[in-house]
Structure 1
């Protein structure tokens, strides 16, 4: 729990060795009936469509929409010295995570996870081992860079960027500074369909308050 701001409702995010690589931003989700792999990890592992086997069942995303998987692949997942063969369903949708480890992995490892304590514990060799959660976002040190002469309008650039990459980034920002908006008044004429929030409710239905339980 060191470094965790209390009280918290963070998801449990860990680092696991998947295949031959240490993979960060892996979410542990007891509510998931399958193990999921997202595009960043799929590409990072150098996988190709021919590496996948067919998986025809549709999945439901976090937003509630149906997602057609690209396929299924089995890979070893290592936690400490314990290695478990895991079936990953590969989906081509955006996610801040690289993978989701669901109940199949937890049950095979005989593990118990806790978002409250930010840990996964499992039995191994007569003892109880644990995987400690890592920060969801690891942010490097940033420096403020003014590219248009106005100190109120600035960008933040990572201090650890290689010099050439940093120079290319600043060159790009200077060349396109006119397209960055700092407040809503700098983007007049935007279609309200893009910026207005609407509740997904039926306006013809009369709202009713639930009775107390």
Structure 2
């Protein structure tokens, strides 16, 4: 697990004719219609973390405090931040701090900054557009996949949606809102 898979510098050395495409064949494994978000699982700080929401609208990677504690990260690794986060509901959330952790995806090992907050969403992590750009990803919720070019640009790597985790998140969200349960 500790073997180096790739680096950011290799991203700029690509010379490839491989393109990221989506077509009808990709929809064969997808139940249409659906409203499910793109929720994946990845290695973060040497641990498999489930229930990671891919959100191209977010300017930051967000980690909830419970996930921070579960990963057993020492609090001294938190760096202070003076910038509040603007939440989905328009309210500001004061971060506990920022932590940098190794994230593995699409043949890349990238140090990513996470804003740690004390909130209670159904997701463990939210991966924002900066990370999506760094892995050269193209998320498509309709197809339940994020496609990335390999480091050398000669193939496409799919990061598939974790369907069970997405259903769990939806169920937790409904329960917290008082609107009942969704099937898992």
State the TM-score, normalized to the length of structure 2.
Answer: 0.71
SS in structure 2 of the partner of residue 42 of structure 1: helix
CA gap of 1:2–1:23, structure 2 versus 1, over 3 A, is: farther
State how 1:15-94 maps to structure 2 within 5 Å: 15-94=41-120
Is the contact between residue 56 and residue 128 of structure 2 (CA under 8 Å) also seen in structure 1? yes
How far did residue 58 of structure 1 move?
A: 0.7
Deviation at 1:3, TM superposition (A): 6.2
Q: How far apart, in 1, do the equivalents of 2:66 and 2:97 lie?
A: 15
Contact 2:55/2:126 (8 A) holds in 1: yes
Correspondence for 1:129? 157
Bigger relative contact order (CA 8 A; separation at least 6): 2
Determine the C-alpha separation between the residues in 2 that align with 1:64 and 1:13.
23
1:105-153 deviation per Cα after TM superposition (whole angstroms, max 9, x unaligned): 01111111011111111111221111000121359xxxxxxxxxxxxxx
Query: Retained in 1: the 8 A contact 2:40–2:54?
Result: yes
Aligned residues: 140
Q: Distance in 1 between matches of 2:119 and 2:148?
A: 31
Written as runs of structure 1 = structure 2, the 5 A alignment for 1:139-158 is none
State the partner residue of 2:10.
none
Structure 1: segments with no counterpart, 5+ residues: 140-194, 196-213
Range with greater deviation from structure 2 (77-86 or 23-32) = 77-86
Specify the structure having the higher radius of gyration (Cα). 1
3-state SS of paired residue (1:11): coil
The structure with the greater share of residues assigned to helix is: 2
Structure 2: distance between partners of 1:3 and 1:117: 9
Q: Is the 8 A contact 2:30 2:143 kept in 1?
A: no
Show the 5 A alignment for 1:191-202.
none
User: Which residue does the alignment assign to 1:108?
Assistant: 134
C-alpha distance after superposition, 1:20-45 (max 9, x if no partner): 10000000000000100012311111
Contact preservation (8 Å) 2:61, 2:126: yes
The answer for unaligned runs of 5 or more in structure 2 is: 1-26, 170-177, 179-184
Q: List per-residue Cα deviations over 1:167-188 (Å, max 9, x = no partner).
A: xxxxxxxxxxxxxxxxxxxxxx
**Cα deviation digits, residues 54-83 of structure 1 (max 9, x gap):** 111011112221100000011110014321
Give me the whole-angstrom Cα distance separating, in 2, the residues matched to 1:96 and 1:131.
20
Q: Which runs of 4+ in 1 moved over 2 A?
A: 1-5
**RMSD between aligned alpha carbons?**
1.9
